[in-house]
């Protein structure tokens, strides 16, 4: 597992908290912020954005992935998301799939249980490799 400095985790956590403060959550009142380190040293972030048609809600990770591509692409290497108490939060199932696509098995996540690689957070994942037919 690649090592990420504690200072980097702290910075990502504070960027996630900052993003969380911009969440648009009139329905759930459950703000989420996410931040990640990209393989070229950039950081990207996102917050959840809800909708009156509840199912259309965008999770914080959706905004983060959009920020990744908007700002130049690359691969996610370290990821944090936080809830309204500023404590680490697990990404939902759909967002684990989004993170897999953009970081792969080695992406490190600050989970409530500690730092875990994506390969543990989404084992036996479906991904881009499955579409490579002979
Ligand atoms: N939420 C996220 O933004 N990311 C997750 O991984 C879990 C859930 C949001 C969606 C919704 O706005 C609120 O949390 C409550 O489900």
Domain boundaries, the chain: 6-118
Question: What pLDDT was estimated at residue 57?
Answer: 98
Distance CA 80, CA 5 (A): 14
Mean pLDDT of the chain: 97
End-to-end CA distance of the chain: 31
Q: What is the model's pLDDT at position 133? A: 76
CA distances from 57 to 16, 44, 52, 78, 121 (A): 19, 20, 8, 24, 23
Pocket of ligand 1, candidates 59, 91, 94: which has the most ligand atoms within 8 Å of its Cβ, to mutate?
A: 59
User: pTM for the complete prediction?
Assistant: 0.96
Residue 127, helix vs strand vs coil: coil
pLDDT band at 12 (very low <50, low <70, confident <90, very high): very high
Task: Specify the residue with its C-alpha closest to ligand 1, atom 9.
Answer: 59
The ligand 1 atom nearest the CA atom of 48: 3
No. of H helices and E strands in the chain?
A: 4, 5
Q: Is 33 in the pocket of ligand 1 (CB under 6 A)?
A: no
- Ligand 1 center to 133 CA (angstroms): 34
CATH 3.40.140.10 fits 6-118, yes or no: yes
pLDDT at 2 over 90: no
Q: In this predicted model, what pLDDT tens digit does every residue of 23-78 receive, in sequence order?
A: 999 999 999 999 999 999 999 999 999 999 999 999 999 999 999 999 999 999 99
């Amino acid at each position: 597992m690649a090592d990420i400095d504690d200072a980097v985790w702290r910075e990502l956590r504070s960027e996630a908290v900052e993003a969380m403060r911009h969440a648009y959550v009139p329905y759930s009142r459950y703000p989420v912020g996410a931040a990640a380190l990209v393989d070229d040293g950039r950081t990207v972030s996102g917050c959840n954005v809800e909708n009156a048609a509840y199912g259309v809600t965008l999770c914080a990770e959706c905004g983060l992935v959009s920020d990744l591509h908007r700002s130049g692409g690359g691969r996610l290497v370290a990821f944090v998301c936080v809830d309204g108490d500023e404590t680490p939060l697990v990404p939902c199932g759909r967002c684990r799939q989004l993170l897999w696509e953009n970081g792969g098995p080695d992406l490190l996540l600050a989970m409530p249980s500690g730092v875990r690689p994506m390969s543990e957070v989404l084992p036996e994942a479906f991904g881009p490799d499955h579409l490579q037919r002979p």
